[in-house]
Amino acid sequence: MSAGGQVAEALPGSPAGLVVRFQGGRTASGPPTSGQANMIRCVLTDPPEHMNYGFVLTVPPGKTLDDVVAAVVLLISRHESLRTTFRDGLQHVAGEGELVIGVHDSQGSADLADEVAARLQAVRFDPEGELPVRAAVTLSDGVPERVILVLTHTTVDAVGLSLLRVELNRLLFGETPEPVTAPQPLDVAWTERSPASLKRAQAAIEYWRTNLERIPRSTFTASVDDGDNDWLMPRLQVRSTVAARALGRIGARTGVSRSAAVLAAYTLLAGLRSGQRTAVALAISGNRFRPELRDYVGPLAQDALVPIDLDEPTFDGVLRRTRAAALAAYQNSRFDSDALIQVMEEVQRSRGVFFARDIVFNDMSVHGQGRRAGRTEEYEQDVRSHWLPEATMPTRVSLWVRTVEGEVDFTLWTDPRCLPRADAEAFGEGIARLLIEAADRDVPLSEVSGLTGVVPLERGEGWTTIDACWVHLPEVERLVRDAVGDRPFHVTEDGGRLVCHLAGPVSPVEVHTACVGRLSGRMAAMAPHHYVVHDGAPASPDGWAALPVLEEGTGR
């Protein structure tokens, strides 16, 4: 196969497939982009089903296996990210090489392609020694039916995957592709090392530090432990043509973009449900706001931290705050991930909380517009929803937006421990219903529960707010117990601070370090702010004040 997409000889490989050759442009090496560096770490440690992306396309009628292979090879030749491996701290772009394309006889099975995709997606990629793309084709009586492509997160993010899906589909139909005008990852990496880019990256780290020191560590705080969580999530798809029209009127009335309006409704309902005055969303595609990166095929998967203060009387106020917060977040969403991890660890120790990635917003609509225009009357009911099969997603609640013009179409992923199905249905449909109501008027926040059915969570005994975070005191006690073992202790709340009395001898720094080290995955726990080490233990919790004090301190 050649870089121009002309079919050359496909060499017979193993019985499972064909070995095909690709030729791209340059052979080159250089530093990884900040997005690639971030994803390499995740690909090596996170479950492969979270780090590998895949899609299945139906082959157009009349196409041969050679046609399908040629389309796949041309796709690889056009995008350096599909030919890039990583070793010795560098990315290495292969100008040519080989790829095995699996070939499978469907034998009448309509599900074979999906099964093959799942198998390919379940195996961890080796960023150092393996091309970051796996391909396969299913045949029926020698005629190609479906083509499968699986890529790792070092290669694309969700928007990049959408771009490749559209492009491969066009190639399968025999369209002549336009030249690639977006930068290749190696070009982005060198740009990121310019003085101006380095200055922006440092400013982004400071932006994160400032916000991490003040925002709630989670929004959907619940008394759960992620130790054995498989992150298998129910998914609710919500669609509404009426909400799409409403977004247009909201924009005309307030100047807020469609994407920001959806984000505002999402975070407002999250804050309402959880009883938080500030809701924190992590947007994972907003850092494509620069025009030159709009069609970039590479990972820009660095979170944009969007804290939205909800202390407003009306929804218009939340819309304005969301617009400002999102703009600031997107401008600070490219950074050195190692530096950010260090900042997060410092803040975790100083505040005694573990920052949870629990509200995610992924707006892919910029690459999905125009698909749903001209709906017939049967789709004109205001809001429709249905449950999709469960899938894994390591967050509490995620909103993946596909379209916001012609039809609002999004999928809500929910952790049932934090948002049971009945509540999730009200939440997902409530986003659309709030937008519809806000089309022509400024909705008072006092009316939102009645409009959407989303009501504040009732928290029982032991719940309190400390340092902008919901905290469950029994969970704090369990955290300390796991940290100190059989040593007697007692935790109290004193003026918005958690004070831990415990029997010595022991160092406050030692105990605090042990508590902080066990915070991960505990949504409702917080490490104590102050430790008082006593000489011995009292007979009852009320007796600690009478004991001599050996040492006290913050442990921070």
Q: Is the pLDDT of residue 377 over 50?
A: no
Q: What percent of the chain is predicted at pLDDT more than 70?
A: 93
Q: Is the pLDDT of residue 520 over 50?
A: yes
Nearest to 272 by CA among 450, 96, 393: 450
Given pLDDT bands bounded at 50, 70 and 90, which one contains residue 366? Answer: low
CB 203 within 8 A of CB 407: no
| Domains, in order of start, for the chain | 11-184 (3.30.559.10), 194-452 (3.30.559.30), 463-553 (3.30.300)
| CA dist list (Å): 534 to 143, 484, 486, 494, 509 | 79, 14, 15, 18, 15
291 CB-contact burial (10 Å; exposed 0-12 / middle 13-18 / buried 19+):
exposed
Q: DSSP letters along 250-293, please?
A: HHHHH---HHHHHHHHHHHHHHHHHT-SEEEEEESSGGG-SGGG
Q: Is the pLDDT of residue 13 over 50?
A: no
**482-519 pLDDT tens trace:** 999 999 999 999 888 999 999 989 999 999 999 999 99
**290-301 pLDDT tens trace:** 778 888 998 876
Judged by average pLDDT, the poorest of 9-18, 29-38, 50-59, 371-380 is 371-380
- Cα separation, 446 vs 449, in Å, equals 7
Residue appearing with tokens 């494509």? 288
| pTM assigned to the model | 0.84
Give bridge partners of residue 466 from the DSSP assignment.
Answer: 469
Structure confidence at residue 21 (pLDDT): 93
The strand ranges marked E within 293-333 are 304-309
- Cα separation, 216 vs 278, in Å, equals 7
Q: Is the pLDDT of residue 555 over 80?
A: no
